[in-house]
Amino acid sequence: MPELPEVETVTNEIRPYVLGRCIEDVKVTWPGTVKGNSAEEFISGLKGQTVVDVRRRGKFIVWELSNGKRLLTHLKMTGALIAQEAGIEPPPYNRVEITLEDGMKIYFRDPRKFGRMRVVEGDAALDELGPEPLEPEFTAEVLESILKKRKGLIKPTLLDQTLIAGIGNMYADEALYEAKIHPLRAADSLSPAEYRTLHTAIQHILATAIKAKGASIANYVRPGGELGHAHFAFKVAHRRGENCSRCGEALERIVVRGRGTYFCPKCQVLNVDSEAENTKSETNLKSQDSKR
DNA sequence: CTATAGACCTGACGGC
DNA sequence: TGCCGTCAGGTCTATA
């Protein structure tokens, strides 16, 4: 599932194909993919334009165009940008085909049709996003001030793109596991030490996954067709029934706000005062379990 | 304003 | 072998 590390990888790997190239032709084979524009608006906004920059913002891939407009691409669940030489069969589930001046084709492949491409003017769509979690401005203090304002559950709060941009379901689970924070804790209930630990965990998890070129769960493929291998390093995500790598406990899967959530019930304790009650932690764990 | 459930989509997979 | 229910989750929309 494309989250920040996958989108970062796709952005970096599509860039050499498109940067400085003129867009010669555009075909929309599934109109729903571009439904933020009319098909005509989408095509006319791209045709004849040179790509002057390619960057990532949150989970968006942003192509800056010579007419001052931007092409925003969101891969959502199953989207992929595929670069292929002309004359090769388009990939299955292709929704948009972009032909570059050198004949290279960029396809938007998306089996489940959740993904979107849109040509926009201005910054509105990107300005709604929260800070980038890997930028130096995103300090532990910034994370704490964001989460302290929220009374909801920590897991869905981390997924709110207007608060922090780029974290998705898999990496939220991984970060909470690394920081030993239960996904059902209230976002504003962490100790100062826990906010710092979570901050370190978020940056470590995301940076490590970028080095591994993203996680090839489900449909994620890189523009040249290669897979990522970040999922091999996952400690909890999609590992139901396996044993915790820290304590050996069986990992659990629960549903939080409709999302599959993986965690270690022994390492990630729900009780806020667990540190002060180490001697009773065993009984606390059991009572927390039975409440759920 | 905040918080949350449901909708959108369809392939993969397991059980029978 | 083949059918069918369940699962996967990013984000928009509607509702309390």
Domain borders along chain A are 4-127, 140-291
Q: Which residue has the tokens 């608060």?
A: A163
The pLDDT score that the predictor gives to residue A118 is 94
CATH architecture classification, A4-127: Alpha-Beta Barrel (3.20)
**Active site includes A92?**
no
The pLDDT score that the predictor gives to residue A281 is 34
Q: Which residue has the tokens 């790997």?
A: A13
Mean pLDDT, chain A cut into blocks of 10 residues (292 residues total): 91 97 96 89 96 96 96 93 93 94 95 92 89 95 94 93 93 94 94 96 94 84 89 83 88 88 91 44 35 32
Catalytically annotated residue among A56, A57, A59, A213: A59
The pLDDT score that the predictor gives to residue A241 is 75
A224: which DSSP letter?
T
The pair of three-digit structure tokens given for residue A56, joined into one six-digit string: 């990532």
Does A56 belong to an annotated binding site?
no
C-alpha A276, offset from chain centre: 35
The pLDDT score that the predictor gives to residue A229 is 87
The pLDDT score that the predictor gives to residue A291 is 34
CB-CB contact of A42 with A62 (8 Å): no
The pLDDT score that the predictor gives to residue A292 is 30
Class of domain A140-291: mainly alpha
- Chain C positions with an atom below 7 A of a protein C-beta are 7-12
From CA A214, how far away is CA A227, in angstroms rounded? 8
Q: Point out which residues pair with A108 in neighbouring strands.
A: A81, A96
From CA A50, how far away is CA A100, in angstroms rounded? 9
What single-letter amino acid sits at A97? E
Does A185 belong to an annotated binding site?
no
**Active site includes A47?**
no
The pLDDT score that the predictor gives to residue A106 is 96
CB-CB contact of A59 with A166 (8 Å): yes
